[in-house]
Amino acid sequence: MRAPAYFRESPAARSLKDELKRATKANVSQVMKTIIANPIRLAEVVAGGHLHWRRTFLRGMSGLPVDDDIADRLFGFFCQAFLRRFPGTTPESDPRALAGQYLDQVEVPSPPTEAEIEASWEHTCESSPEAIRLFYRDGVNPDLPGPREPIVLSMPSKMVH
């Protein structure tokens, strides 16, 4: 039985639906690629568990037509991807426990200290000697009002965030 004319979709409504489907698929695909590309992020997702993933995923995809089922299927996909990525695991292995063990072994680099930041500054001059002579010392450049002194960069002694 066919729906009455007043229930049929207009071309504009169909276009919006199609665009929403494309946007949802693109966003979900991007999330999948981002997580799969980084083993630490993949382990964090798996170790966090399906409820944490579901809450995070649904919050991140708010406004798009995603539901618990899509979130749960993605979590299952990530668990299988984690087990496949690490040899010696079997499908019966507990991916959450293995992901937690993996994260325990990962050494997270600490942020650099202020002394390390200060020591890392290096000044290099990439200009040729001819260009330096022309623009800064005794050269004559018609575009510049006269000889110029070299530019000296000074960096703050303390980093401000």
pLDDT tens figures, 72-115: 999 999 999 999 887 777 767 888 989 988 888 888 778 888 88
Burial class (CB within 10 angstroms; exposed 0-12, middle 13-18, buried 19+) of 5: exposed
Cα separation, 74 vs 34, whole angstroms? 13
Confidence of residue 161 (pLDDT cuts 50, 70, 90): very low
Per-residue confidence (pLDDT) for residue 1, from 0 to 100:
61
Amino acid in the structure at residue 153: L
- How much is the mean pLDDT over the chain? 80
Q: How far is CA 119 from CA 115, 122, 148, 150, in A?
A: 6, 8, 30, 23
Give me the residue label for tokens 């260009």.
131
Contact 20, 12 (CB under 8 A): no
Instruction: List pLDDT tens digits, range 109-151.
Output: 788 888 888 887 766 666 777 777 666 655 555 565 555 555 5
Confidence of residue 30 (pLDDT cuts 50, 70, 90): very high
Q: How far is CA 5 from CA 10, 12, 14, in A?
A: 10, 15, 15
